[in-house]
Structure 1
């Protein structure tokens, strides 16, 4: 992750450079735009930027794995009736790509993460020409998707572009504040303990941003299988490096992580589950963790506390409430 000064510099440049995409029919109605988003993270961004001018339906709720998700009959109805569909891209919604490509010939469909500079992306380990899609794990990268959402909404309501841009600036400001909190807290974890071991490789961008070594039992996609050799190698690593904690994910089975804990115990090394992290899906609707800010705050605080940092109770939000 670039230092937070780059976020400050990029915010104005990013918002100033928001350009209109291909012309689409505009909507004179004052009724909220009907937007469908595939993932919770995109839905949250669209709601924040759109405010009262949008009604956003997220297809994938808490605990849903987007790598394996297939559109349901009700999803198809919702997407074909939407004013616009926002999806992630970068092969995250692998099972939905053909449907979305076909829909894009009839309706406004936007793959927001595919607007990112490819030089900022990490190559996918399993598929040539594809990239690690988990860009929301790094606030600096995630805010670079904001212009695509602003443009998508403004194409439908050009008269409201100023409102969308103002809301976007608030979103970027909050991401900047979260970035400062995360960097300060995570860099207080002892260097030798900055190892994040989870069920699959969803935290690569997180690791680059906050100087963590990231290890996943499965690859970037949860569709890959974890073999006994892989689990055995990671058990040996846990024991050799005296690591204290591993982490489960809310959208992935904890079976392999528990196998690591048991394997380490068999070698006389106690490893605990440091907590449950939000990787490919946010928390339940209506909760703080059910927002992008909340999921990252939760992850940062949980990881830091489990690995020896003095993390505030309730994360950054709890810290702000205590100071109020």
Structure 2
């Protein structure tokens, strides 16, 4: 969207402004829908892992895989390659980074998906999670602590037909294991499809977009970054207002602010070294068929699962 900034400084012909504004409006709308769906579906890796480990209910975890399948299908249909702004780190960094990401996510009580939902619900303390994440990402950018890695892109490993069949199989599996214990099958299906499609569309329209670093571009006065972030959290807020759980503004305690900031710092460190948070692993790495993404995601979930199994978790779905 550098054309937009050029326009407002008078460097782009007036004839091009309609397309620029239209693209920005589309990006803003997609950001809103993404935030709305994340809140409405109670999408969170911690919740999904807790239900899997403590309650033997795998449906919500299967739904996360379903979300990745939706993203892969969109890439395949559009014949577009999932793009990583920086290539995957070596195992020396990748393995501990995934563990840091898992520890931070457990301490936070919610992954980046769920944190967006909690903020929409009025739980302001989760803003400090993102502040911790962005402090790490901004520090690295400001001081260039890591060597530059080349952009990585990989075409989807499966065609649209095979991915469609795989998606149907995943949905059928989730239905078979959830029909007795889950009452939100339809809502979760719509939410996962919406998140997969909108996040992929945003990644194509605004290369480099990720939920983890959605605030990052704001520091460099990016109109696109600001539009996505504001509309994403706005969508989560509207979803909460319309949902059964409602919107209840809850001001954070000092203890909560410190806890979320610490958790966000660990999550940011993990996302920096992988590179990418659980959203990047699910919605870009897995659709690209990257073994690094699969390994990092397995280690990330395994870390959360071990902590949930040993220490328990109070995380729970809000819809």
Shorter-normalised TM range: under 0.3
Name the one with the larger strand percent: 1
Name the one with the larger helix percent: 2
Using the size of structure 2 for normalisation, the TM-score is 0.24
User: Highest Rg: 1 or 2?
Assistant: 1
